[in-house]
Amino acid sequence: MSELTWQKSTFSGGPQGECLFIATAPDGTMRLRESDEPRTVIVTGPEGLAALLGHVRGPRGPRTT
């Protein structure tokens, strides 16, 4: 597998340093990982990621608490 370029989410980096990273693989799939478990990677397509973000945001946008 080729080396992925990971980007940190703009919502990451709270006081505990918890970060979410995302990368796009050459085949177009999206890869997600957390800073606490960098070897655990979730693989999804753009539609799956959009569905996840829509669920997290809910009808009112992202939660702040």
pTM of the model: 0.70
Contacts of 39 (CB under 8 A, 6+ apart): 33
Cβ-defined contacts of 14-22 (< 8 Å, 24+) = 22/49
The 10s digit of each residue's pLDDT in 10-54 is 777 666 667 889 999 999 999 999 988 889 999 999 999 899 888
| Residue type at 59 in one-letter notation | P
Alpha carbons 19 and 12: distance in angstroms, whole number: 5
Query: Is the torsion defined by CA of 49, 50, 51, 54 positive or negative?
Result: positive
